Amino acid sequence: MRSTPIQLADGRELIYFDLPGDPPRQGEDTRELPPPPPASELRFDPMRGDWVAVAAHRQERTFQPPSTHCPLCPSTPEFRSEVPGPYRVVTFENRFPSFSDRTSENRIMPGIRPGEGRAEVMCFTPDHEGSFAELDARDVRLVLDVWAARTEAMSALPGVEQVFPFENRGEEIGVTLSHPHGQIYGYPFIPPNVRQILLYLESDPGAFGYRLSREQSDERVVAANEHWTAFVPRAARWPFEVHFYPHRQLPDIPALTEEERDAFAPLYLDVLRRFDALFDLPLPYIAAWFQAPVNQARETFRLHLQLFSIRRAPGKLKYLAASESAMGTFINDVSPEQAARMLRDALPPFT
């Protein structure tokens, strides 16, 4: 993998990532841009024990522009985008970040502090009409290597406690740009869902290994190979939810071996294509990497990917209504066993 960093017109960093043999990347960002906004403000809710990021500048972010004015496509003479030239995979600091290191104007008082951290956009492909499922295994391996490199870089930033790569796909999920892309957050705190896992690991350090061994012998396995198992969890919250576990205990993406990285690509592509084959239409989904925090539970937390969709049937979505949104209690309309069976039957068996 080759990386080529450049600076955008407003001082933000952009990095091209390429495979051997790709042409050299160049191009100057000739736009006139205002300075990036200051970091968000973090406000603490003591009754819940959670931090909330207040990022009012994100109200101004670009929303569903026409394809001729997509900020994630390579720039053309007619439209200067966020990416000055052609690319294979690219990351750059979000122009409307949830977290950043530009904290000088933030106030600091009890329960309020700057939203220090990092928020990057990651474009998997220059093809505006493409999708992650349409990548080939070589490009997925490159994406995985980029996730690893950015996890290492963000983990070294002052104040970052958790690195979170993810992809939101589909207008139903709430994406504001239809171009295939994801993001990477460097949180300045440990998010609630990870914190809950850490509390459980204190009493049962081997919980991840036990879960994997139980799921590997269950009817909810969707696909597997020598290094990974993809399964619908027994207590799935979402209509179609698949977790990808590496067979070794390891804390984060950088810890994956070459063989494990190679093995991930075909398995992940297979399940993504099963998602789209379920109802013969692109399924909206969230793909979320759970990694060990930067400074905690490095020996007990197991890297894994959670992939889930809010679509429960053709023309029907799973909304987070009162029970889920107010009480945090999920009610799933599709049994995990049924979901796994539907996904296995959507395409020929994985090999």
Catalytic residues: 181
| Sequence-ordered strand ranges (E) for 108-253 | 112-114, 118-123, 162-169, 181-187, 221-224, 228-231, 240-246
The secondary structure element, H or E, covering residue 290 is: strand 285-290
The pair phi, psi for residue 205, each rounded to 5°, is -60, -25
Structure tokens at 149: 């490199």
Q: Is 8 left (phi over 0), alpha (psi -120 to 50) or beta?
A: beta
Sort strands 221-224 and 50-54 into parallel, antiparallel or unpaired.
unpaired
CA torsion angle 272 273 276 282 (round to 10): 70
Q: Cα(163)–Cα(311) distance, rounded to whole angstroms? A: 27
CB contact set of 271 (below 8 Å; sequence gap of 6+)? 222, 223, 230, 242, 244, 307, 343
Separation CA 77–CA 55 (nearest Å): 33
Contact in structure between 286 and 311 (CB atoms under 8 Å) = no
Are residues 303 and 253 in contact, defined by beta-carbon separation less than 8 angstroms?
yes
DSSP state of 61: S
Is residue 59 packed enough to be buried (19+ CB in 10 Å), middle (13-18) or exposed (0-12)? exposed
Amino acid present at 239 = P
Helices (H) and strands (E) in the chain, counts: 6, 16
Going by C-alpha positions, the residue among 253, 220, 124 that lies closest to residue 181 is 124
- Read off the tokens for 301: 């937390």
